[in-house]
């Protein structure tokens, strides 16, 4: 719900920006907002001992955790394959699969870079990280809001689309 709200806020601002205005039609906005809560659906295949580990993950555990993005995309494709809304299915698939891609190409699962990452996945990436750092986790406290924004700003051009960071 929180990430959906963050995505909705970003899309609303993007509608006011000439770079994005033409693609921000009602169907697209609804589809992206409805896909946002599904971004981590692949974590249902991640063992609880990894998801709930109170400390740092080992390299092996992190490799398992990273599989959730590709797994989520596969789950959405297989679950929604007969859905009579191929646009939503594609957006949900791309949000789940590509929300951990990095603008510099060093993300996962496919190593996409820049604008090869679907726009909605680039938006989701920012919303997901903001949510992750602003909320208490089993392994750390929530960060102050100004530090959360700083993390996003420092990731511009590396982790995140710099134009979206400005938004």
Q: Which amino acids are annotated catalytic? A: 43
CA-based R_g, the chain, Å? 16
**97 touches 39 (CB < 8 A):** no
Structure-token match 């406290």, residue found: 141
Q: Residue 115, CB half-sphere, CA atoms under 13 Å: how many?
A: 1
What is the rounded distance in angstroms from the CA atom of residue 33 to the CA atom of residue 53? 29
Tokens of 67: 């599989």
What is the rounded distance in angstroms from the CA atom of residue 114 to the CA atom of residue 146? 26
What is the rounded distance in angstroms from the CA atom of residue 98 to the CA atom of residue 121? 6
Helix%, strand%, coil% for the chain, nearest 5: 65, 0, 35
Nearest to 102 by CA among 120, 83, 121: 121
């Amino acid at each position: 719900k929180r990430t959906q709200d963050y995505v909705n806020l970003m899309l609303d601002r993007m509608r006011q920006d000439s770079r994005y205005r033409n693609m921000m039609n009602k169907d697209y906005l609804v589809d992206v907002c409805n896909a946002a809560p599904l971004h981590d659906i692949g974590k249902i295949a991640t063992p609880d001992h990894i998801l709930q580990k109170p400390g740092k993950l080992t390299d092996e555990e992190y490799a398992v955790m990273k599989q959730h993005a590709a797994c989520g995309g596969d789950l959405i494709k297989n679950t929604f394959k007969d859905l009579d809304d191929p646009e939503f299915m594609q957006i949900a698939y791309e949000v789940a699969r590509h929300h951990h891609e990095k603008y510099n190409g060093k993300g996962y699962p496919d190593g996409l870079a820049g604008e090869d990452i679907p726009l909605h996945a680039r938006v989701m990436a920012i919303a997901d990280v903001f949510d992750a750092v602003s909320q208490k986790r089993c392994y750390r406290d929530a960060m102050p809001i100004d530090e959360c924004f700083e993390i996003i700003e420092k990731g511009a051009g590396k982790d995140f689309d710099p134009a979206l960071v400005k938004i």
